[in-house]
Structure formats: C-alpha cells, structure tokens
C-alpha cells in the first residue's frame, strides 16, 4: 500500500512539474495575446489610490505581497486576483473545479506570479475581467462595462459606479447593476468598508477583521 502511494506521489509530482514548466513557457505569449485581444485601455496608474485600495480590499487584500496564492486572507471569492487571471489565460476551454484547481494554484504560484509583475497583473485584471453577458455578448474589462452598464466612458465613472462594477466580479450575471441582488451585495460590501481612522481606503475604510 505504501509503495502504491509513493508511486502515485512520484507520478503526480512529475506531472505537475511538467505542467509548471509548460505554463512558464507559455506565459509571455498568453499575456501578450490577452493584451492584444482585450486591449490595454486602462492602466494601473489610471486608478486613483482610493480605487486601487477598494479593488484590493474587496477582491484580494494581500495581492501586493502574496506570491500568487493566499490561503489566509482571501477577498470576495476563494481565489486571488492572480489565480483568477490564471483561469482566464491557461484554461481556454473553461475551468472546472477538481484536479484543475491544483493546476491553477501551482501555475499561479510557480509560473504566472513570478513572471508577471503586479502592475501587469492589474492591467490584465482591469481589461479582461469578465463582467457578465448582455444581449448575448460577453462583457470584458471595466472600460467596456462602464459603457454597457452606465453608458459612459470609464474615466467618467463616479466612485459608487466603479464600486458597483467591482462587486459584480464574484457573480457577474447574477449581480448586474439595478438588480435586487446587486443592491444587497453593495450593502454588504459597504458594511465591510466602514469608517475607521486607522485603515483608510478613500471615502471607504477597511473594517478590521
């Protein structure tokens, strides 16, 4: 029994080592292709410090310091921004939980995050994040979402409108602006971002856990 387990361990280790090697070889091209396909209209420096802090507080509090994965302080979902981008970049046929979760985690930790700077990751996040389907078409990126949901350029979004897009990310099609579910989600997030003199994130403040 022990021998079987050891053999299985060796096989799995070799398999994932190969997956990581392949992912590292693909990373630069995948990032370039994504930038070309989704554009680079919004750059990290286009975010005010308040909006950047808002995104990270909601989606991935330790984004700037973690190495692709974070098992202690997850944001809105159970994956980091880095892992979310790995889903979009390395799983073109769709991501299904299970063994793919292990592959996603290892790629984020040992291929994507070491090879793609945090600013590049934020650029990808801002321009390719999935924000629902409208009239049969997928909406990707905050610039497109601003036009689709608010009929205005991204640069003209008010902070509350920007936040309303951020809170969609955990479930875009079920949390579209104007719906009851979206209003409820906004209220929960605003309850999480409360006035506190010690930890400022713009007009919102991050509640201590």
The whole-number pLDDT of residue 204 equals 46
The structural domains of the chain, with segments of one domain joined by +, span 2-205
- By the 8 A CB rule, do 83 and 108 touch? yes
CA distance 130 to 53: 20
Quick: pLDDT tens for 47-82: 999 899 999 999 999 999 999 998 776 555 568 999
Quick: pLDDT tens for 127-141: 999 999 999 999 999
Q: What is the pTM of this model?
A: 0.84
CA distance 85 to 90: 8
CA distance 173 to 190: 20
- By the 8 A CB rule, do 104 and 91 touch? yes
> What is the average pLDDT score of the chain?
85
Question: Does pLDDT of 156 surpass 70?
Answer: yes
**2-205: what CATH class?**
mainly alpha
Helix axes 49-59, 159-166, angle to 10 degrees: 30
Q: Which two tokens stand for residue 171?
A: 């479930």
Q: Which of 117, 92, 106, 98 is nearest to 20 (CA)?
A: 106
């Amino acid at each position: 029994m022990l021998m079987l387990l050891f053999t299985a361990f060796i096989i799995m280790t070799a398999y994932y080592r190969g997956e990581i090697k392949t992912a590292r070889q693909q990373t630069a091209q995948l990032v370039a292709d994504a930038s070309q396909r989704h554009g680079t209209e919004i750059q990290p420096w286009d975010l005010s410090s308040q909006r950047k802090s808002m995104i990270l507080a909601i989606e991935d509090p330790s984004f700037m310091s973690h190495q692709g994965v974070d098992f202690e302080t997850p944001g809105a979902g159970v994956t980091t921004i880095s892992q979310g981008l790995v889903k979009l970049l390395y799983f073109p046929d769709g991501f299904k939980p299970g063994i793919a979760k292990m592959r996603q985690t290892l790629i984020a930790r040992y291929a994507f995050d070491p090879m793609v700077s945090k600013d590049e990751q934020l650029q990808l996040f801002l321009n390719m994040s999935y924000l629902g389907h409208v009239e049969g078409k997928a909406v990707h990126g905050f610039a497109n979402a601003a036009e689709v949901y608010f009929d205005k350029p991204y640069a003209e979004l008010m902070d509350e409108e920007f936040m309303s897009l951020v809170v969609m990310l955990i479930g875009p099609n079920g949390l579209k602006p104007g719906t009851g579910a979206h209003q409820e989600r906004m209220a929960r997030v605003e309850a999480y971002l409360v006035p506190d003199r010690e930890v400022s994130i713009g007009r919102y403040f991050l509640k201590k856990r």
